[in-house]
């Protein structure tokens, strides 16, 4: 079932930002300094969705649900242009109950649409690599002074070839940039984002075994996807 057809109750912890100027991407947050960026990957179950100290940012059609199954989101993100959206996606953008960050050509798609202020981000934060929504989110969090950023369900290292190459590199760049400015990242215990568990060369066996385990898992995932693709191709007339 598409998110547009799900009638979720809203979490009482939601505190959406006030929209100052939607076309300029001006939002006023409520003073919390912690933001949870929520994705669809491994580790999303550890997201602090029931903790009032955290702002929660959702994206696309991935609903963060609290322990009572209520929609927990203060700000939504959909940064794909209209050409990438299905009719159901457009229905969700229109129905999204909290401010939703969008590109220029979706500003008319929702009463709560807010344009992502890419020019201001580049001028005031950095002109770093923007290869995925998570990078835009980290940069926007820096623009607004968040000191703690949680990445849950953002395990790009285990994703598609695109996710584990250009997207992973992009997010890791922004993590390093943010950490140099004193931002603390909160991650699931097994996360590979922004870290390398052992010292290359100096912890030879441990580092080698860790990387082998990771690359083996990646290869198994690729093989499984290839089998599924072949099985899907064999179905039909």
Q: What is the pLDDT of residues 53-68, one digit of tens each?
A: 999 999 999 999 999 9
Mean pLDDT score of the chain, rounded to an integer?
A: 95
As a dihedral over the C-alpha atoms of residue 170, residue 85, residue 102, residue 15, rounded to 10 degrees, the angle is -100
The pTM is what? 0.93
Provide the pLDDT for residue 235: 59
Dihedral sign of CA atoms 200, 202, 203, 209 in order: positive
Closest CA to 124 of 65, 70, 181, 85: 181
CB 8 within 8 A of CB 62: no
Percent of the chain scoring above 70 in pLDDT: 97
Sheet of strand 54-59: strand arrangement: 113-115, 100-102, 75-77, 54-59, 34-38, 148-152, 184-186
Concatenating the DSSP letter of every residue in 64-89 gives: -B-TTS-B--SEEE--S-GGG--HHH
Closest CA to 157 of 203, 210, 109, 199: 210
Domain limits, the chain: 3-195, 198-237
121 membership: H or E segment, kind and range: helix 118-124
Please check the confidence at residue 41 and state whether its pLDDT lies above 50: yes
Please check the confidence at residue 233 and state whether its pLDDT lies above 70: no
158 CA to centre of own chain? 15
C-alpha 130/C-alpha 133 separation (Å) is 8
Provide the pLDDT for residue 234: 62
Least confident of 31-40, 133-142, 227-236: 227-236
Closest CA to 194 of 173, 165, 163: 173
Please check the confidence at residue 24 and state whether its pLDDT lies above 90: yes
Categorize the per-residue pLDDT at 190 as very low, low, confident or very high, splitting at 50, 70 and 90: confident
Mean pLDDT of 214-222: 86
Please check the confidence at residue 236 and state whether its pLDDT lies above 60: no
């Amino acid at each position: 079932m598409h998110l547009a057809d799900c009638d979720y109750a809203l979490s009482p912890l939601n505190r959406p930002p006030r929209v100052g100027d939607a076309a300029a991407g001006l939002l006023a947050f409520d003073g919390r300094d912690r933001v949870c960026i929520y994705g669809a990957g491994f580790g999303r179950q550890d997201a602090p969705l029931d903790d009032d100290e955290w702002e929660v940012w959702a994206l696309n059609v991935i609903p963060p649900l609290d322990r009572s199954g209520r929609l927990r989101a203060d700000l939504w993100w959909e940064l794909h242009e209209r050409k990438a959206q299905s009719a159901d996606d457009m229905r969700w953008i229109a129905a999204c109950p909290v401010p939703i960050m969008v590109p220029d050509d979706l500003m008319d798609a929702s009463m709560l649409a807010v344009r992502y202020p890419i020019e201001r981000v580049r001028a005031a934060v950095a002109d770093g690599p923007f290869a995925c929504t998570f990078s835009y989110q980290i940069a926007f969090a820096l623009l607004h002074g968040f000191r703690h950023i949680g990445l849950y369900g953002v395990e790009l290292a285990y994703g598609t070839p695109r996710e584990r190459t250009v997207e992973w590199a992009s997010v890791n760049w922004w993590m390093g940039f943010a950490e140099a400015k004193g931002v603390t990242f909160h991650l699931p215990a097994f996360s590979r984002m922004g870290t390398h568990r052992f010292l290359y060369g100096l912890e030879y066996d441990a580092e080698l075994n860790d990387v082998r385990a990771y690359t083996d898992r990646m290869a198994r995932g690729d093989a499984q996807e290839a089998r599924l693709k072949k099985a899907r191709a064999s179905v039909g007339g």
